[in-house]
Amino acid sequence: MTKAISVATKTRQIVKKHGGDKSAMIAVLQDIQEAFNYLPKEALKTASKAMKVPFSRVYEAATFYTAFSLKQRGKNIVKICVGTACHVRGAAALQDKFERTLGIKPGETTKDKNFTLETVNCVGACALGPVVVINTDYHGQVTMKKIDKIIDKINEGGA
Amino acid sequence: MVNLTVDGKNISVSEGTMLLEAIRGAGIAIPTLCAHEAVSRSGACRLCVVEIKKGNRTRIVTSCLYGAEEGLIVDTKSDRVLNVRRLVMELLLARCPESEVLQKLAKELCVESQARFAADTDKGKCILCRSCVRVCEEIVGVSAIGLFARGSQKTVGTPYNEKSDVCIGCGACVYVCPTGHIEMTSTGDKRKIWGRTFKMQTCTKCGKFFAPVDQLKFISKKTGVPLNELTVCTECR
Ligand code: SF4
Ligand code: FES
Ligand code: FES
């Protein structure tokens, strides 16, 4: 199965699942991201044709929501909350620590494609601040020490 | 008909008329940037604000999007209106300092650029009014351009900033843009817009280059008129 075929085919399947309905565009984009971990250009083009929505409209939606990524992302997505509450509790230092440990800035992915670093503005768990969300796990009251442990654990288990 | 008062004048306009048209019809000037007769309204520039009074309540509304109502009392020059408009103008000016249109308008409104609003250097002359995107979608019908990303990152352009394969090079976006942000250069047989170069068609009568070949092809496909009948410019027709 070549990748080029699978992206378009998979995208068409996703659009079909939503009845080819253009009002389901956001749901379609979410499913595409779920399938590929980001929104490949080819998928957006295919979806645009299949839903009969201009490519420029699809691209507008894809770039509007921060939940969507147009860049290929790593296996593990680290989201550091830099919302007000977490900021006050030292999110900046945590961000610094992650940047140094992983060697990347927010929005970037490590060379081994294992980690992508992102910042978010409040994940709605302020009482647990500072919060770091890794994939779907929420880590509260994160400290410098905890960061090393978390990263080690992922490196051992995952890659 | 709907009866209302504008700056103390009693006027009546037909139902569905927007305040902007009602006010201008009464001979009162209102500055606008984004309301263009060719496209649907977006209410993006906020320059057309007026104060309306219904019963005891007054509020600021964008006149280009507010329909005339029976008994409405409109004030186009209250302190509140002038304050809001000044602030809007200051912010527009800070976003697009190099736009001659904005500079001129600011002068007319006696507004100067403010040190407290740091001037942007990366926004060009675009105020994000969406008129170009609307004309491309609503009138031309190709939707080649859009407004991408959000907040301070938001920009106008083609997807991925790449050459658009649906753009026909018509230049309608250039025509509606209130601030002159969109660059289009025509040199002899070529026209460049949105990063793409279009071949121009010569008029079979006078020999002048008059429209991109792609645009004529598009019109031919849309209307069913054969292409060779479209190769005469409007002046020779
Ligand atoms: S390029 Fe011009 S018409 Fe288009 S959004 Fe910007 S200011 Fe409006
Ligand atoms: S600010 Fe971090 S969870 Fe609200
Ligand atoms: S003219 Fe009304 S908001 Fe621009």
Mean pLDDT, chain A cut into blocks of 10 residues (159 residues total): 74 94 95 94 97 97 92 91 95 94 92 92 92 92 90 76
Pocket test for ligand 1, best of B95, B130, B137, B154 (most atoms within 8 A of CB): B130
Per-residue pLDDT at A158: 57
Q: What is the pLDDT of residue A153?
A: 86
Name the percent of chain B lying above pLDDT 90.
Answer: 95
ipTM of the complex: 0.90
pTM beyond 0.95: no
Element (H, E) at A145: helix A144-157
Q: Would the pLDDT of B41 be above 70?
A: yes
- A96 at interface of B, judged by CB pairs closer than 8 A: no
Q: Quote the tokens at residue A159.
A: 């890659």
Distance, CA of A88 to CA of A129 (rounded, Å): 9
Question: Domains in chain A, please, with CATH?
Answer: 7-64 (no CATH), 76-155 (3.40.30.10)
Residues 163-222 of B with CB under 8 A from A: 164, 166
Q: Is B197 a residue whose pLDDT tops 60?
A: yes
* Whether pLDDT at B29 is above 90: yes
Chain A residues whose CB is inside 8 A of the B133 CB are: 56
According to the model, what pLDDT value does residue A3 have?
Answer: 56
Contacts of A63 in chain B (CB under 8 A): 148-150
The reply to whether residue A41 touches residue B143, judged by beta carbons under 8 angstroms, is no
Does A155 contact B at CB distance below 8 Å?
Answer: no
d(CA A158, CA A131): 22
Residue A8's pLDDT is 94
Are the C-beta atoms of A130 and A86 separated by less than 8 Å?
Answer: yes
- Pocket flag, ligand 1, residue B191 (CB < 6 Å): no
For an interface test with A, which of B134, B143, B152, B162 has the most A Cβ atoms less than 10 Å from its Cβ? B143
pLDDT at A4: 54
The mean pLDDT value for B130-141 works out to: 97
**Strands, E assignment, chain A:** 76-81, 115-120, 132-134, 137-139
Domains present along chain B, CATH in parentheses: 2-108 (3.10.20.740), 131-230 (3.30.70)
Pocket test for ligand 2, best of A79, A80, A81 (most atoms within 8 A of CB): A81
pLDDT of residue B168: 97
- Stretch B89-96: mean pLDDT, rounded? 97
Mean pLDDT, rounded, for B133-143: 97
CA distance to partner chain B, nearest, from residue A60 (Å): 5
| Percent of chain B's residues with pLDDT above 70 | 100
Atom of ligand 3 nearest to the CA of B35: 1
pLDDT score, position A105: 94
